[in-house]
């Protein structure tokens, strides 16, 4: 799936502006879907017919959007002010290259601030907020900047797609293009049971797209595919690592958005054991994903989440292990017949 994942990580798709990513996914899956459409929110919904119908309707979900920023104003000197979209650690912003999506294509820039040697000691040690920073695109005036960008344009931090030693993958937007890649491969494969696949929008700003999509699909069961923080680093105690690269998909029992269905949690872990597929339990009640919206609609949806362990989440240089990508695909493939029988 590495070639597919690179294709998915190339376009920019900040929350609320996912069109370029959706176009790539639609092109990949159209021949393999029995029904494919985009709803009013921008979610891409695909229906896949299997050889049999499950007892309850099954929805698989992965989000297309990524964290980034939106241009909010332009100074007289041509600098761009912005606000972050989604959870970005402000400590990593200064000096980073950015790409801004405009009506005329991408515009390159760099995030800057007042140099630390011109600040007081207290000010220099302070972490600046996004609205205290600026983007320099090379313009010398407001008019010149406006000829290149518009208020409301979105963009993201630049990060190249690289395959590192040991099959590790380094790229931006692996949260959640990795989940999208798994979902695409599932759609391209023969399926014993029918299911609906949803590529959602606006997950990073409140799981909004999933709420709309699930309300329309009305599933009985949902499997959410996402990426989750791996803190498997030196000097981090084992009980704080959350999960680790190379140990398979991460199965959650609870996070800040959802207490997951206990029957499905047990089913996923038992399937992994039976089929000898690497899997691990998320060792923290932290984070959230589209499950936060999905499990509450249509009288309640039995929901589980399987995530890719990811280092440096929400940065331009996320890292996952290609072995985990393969394990998640195998695990979801294996649980679908079992959920279909419930």
Task: Give dist(CA 199, CA 145) in Å, integer.
Answer: 34
Residue extents of the structural domains in the chain: 2-66+172-340, 68-157
In this predicted model, what pLDDT tens digit does every residue of 154-180 receive, in sequence order? Answer: 999 999 999 999 999 999 999 999 999
Nearest Cα neighbor of 318 from 158, 110, 175 is 175
Whether the CB-CB separation of 61 and 48 falls below 8 Å is answered with: no
What six digits make up the tokens of 197? 């696949």
pLDDT band at 238 (very low <50, low <70, confident <90, very high): confident
Determine which helix (DSSP H) or strand (DSSP E) holds 95, and give its type and residue range.
none
How crowded is residue 94: how many other Cβ atoms within 10 Å of its Cβ?
Answer: 16
pLDDT of residue 19: 97
pLDDT of residue 234: 78
Q: Is the pLDDT of residue 239 over 90?
A: no
Is 50 buried (19+), middle (13-18) or exposed (0-12) by CB count in 10 A? middle
Between these two residues, 257 and 241, which has the higher pLDDT value?
Answer: 257
Strand-pair category, 249-251 with 221-229: unpaired
pLDDT band at 256 (very low <50, low <70, confident <90, very high): very high
**Residues, the chain:** 342
In this predicted model, what pLDDT tens digit does every residue of 184-200 receive, in sequence order? Answer: 999 999 999 999 999 99
How crowded is residue 35: how many other Cβ atoms within 10 Å of its Cβ?
Answer: 10
Quote the Cα angle for 222-287-6, to 5°.
75
Catalytic site positions: 203
Class of the domain covering 68-157: mainly beta
Average pLDDT score over the chain: 94
Range 207-228 average pLDDT: 97
Q: Is the pLDDT of residue 308 over 70?
A: yes
pLDDT band at 118 (very low <50, low <70, confident <90, very high): low
CB crowding 160-199: b at 16 or more within 10 Å, else e: ebeeeeeebbbbbbbbbbbbbbbbbbbbeeebebbbbbbb
Instruction: Supply the pTM of this predicted model.
Output: 0.94
In this predicted model, what pLDDT tens digit does every residue of 46-95 receive, in sequence order? Answer: 999 999 999 999 999 999 999 999 999 999 999 999 999 999 988 889 99
pLDDT of residue 298: 85
pLDDT band at 128 (very low <50, low <70, confident <90, very high): confident
Nearest Cα neighbor of 114 from 128, 97, 102 is 128
Q: Which residue has the tokens 């302070």?
A: 126
pLDDT band at 237 (very low <50, low <70, confident <90, very high): confident
Q: What is the CATH number of domain 2-66+172-340?
A: 3.40.630.10
pLDDT band at 115 (very low <50, low <70, confident <90, very high): low
pLDDT of residue 119: 57
Is 342 buried (19+), middle (13-18) or exposed (0-12) by CB count in 10 A? middle
pLDDT band at 124 (very low <50, low <70, confident <90, very high): low
pLDDT of residue 127: 72
Nearest Cα neighbor of 57 from 241, 179, 194 is 194
């Amino acid at each position: 799936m590495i070639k597919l994942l690179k294709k998915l990580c190339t376009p920019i798709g900040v929350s609320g502006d996912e069109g370029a990513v959706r176009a790539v996914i639609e092109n990949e899956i159209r021949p393999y879907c029995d029904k494919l459409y985009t709803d009013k929110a921008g979610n891409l919904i695909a229906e896949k017919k299997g050889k049999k119908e499950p007892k309850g309707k099954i929805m698989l979900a992965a989000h297309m959007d990524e964290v980034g920023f939106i241009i909010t104003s332009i100074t007289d000197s041509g600098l761009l002010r912005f606000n972050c979209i989604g959870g970005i650690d402000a400590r990593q912003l200064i000096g980073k290259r950015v790409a801004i999506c405009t009506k005329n294509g991408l515009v390159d820039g760099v995030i800057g601030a007042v140099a630390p040697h011109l600040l007081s000691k207290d000010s220099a040690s302070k972490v600046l907020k996004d609205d205290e920073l600026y983007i320099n695109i090379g313009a010398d005036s407001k008019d010149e900047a406006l000829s290149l960008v518009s208020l409301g344009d979105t963009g993201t931090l630049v990060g190249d797609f690289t395959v590192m030693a040991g099959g590790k993958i380094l790229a931006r937007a692996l949260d959640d293009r990795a989940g999208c890649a798994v979902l695409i491969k599932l759609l391209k494969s023969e399926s014993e049971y029918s299911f609906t696949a949803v590529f959602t929008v606006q997950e990073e700003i409140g799981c909004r797209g999933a709420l709309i999509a699930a309300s329309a699909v009305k599933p009985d069961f949902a499997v959410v595919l996402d990426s989750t923080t791996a803190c498997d680093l030196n000097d981090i105690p084992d009980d704080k690592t959350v999960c680790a690269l190379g140990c398979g998909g991460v199965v959650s029992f609870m996070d800040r958005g959802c207490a997951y269905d206990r029957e499905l949690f047990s089913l996923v872990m038992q399937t992994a054991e039976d089929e000898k597929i690497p899997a691990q339990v998320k060792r923290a009640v932290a984070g959230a994903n589209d499950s936060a919206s999905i499990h509450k609609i249509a009288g309640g949806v039995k929901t589980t989440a399987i995530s890719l362990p990811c280092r440096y989440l929400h940065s331009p240089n996320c890292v996952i292990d290609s072995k985990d990508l393969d394990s998640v695909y195998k695990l979801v493939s294996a649980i679908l017949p079992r959920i279909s029988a419930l």
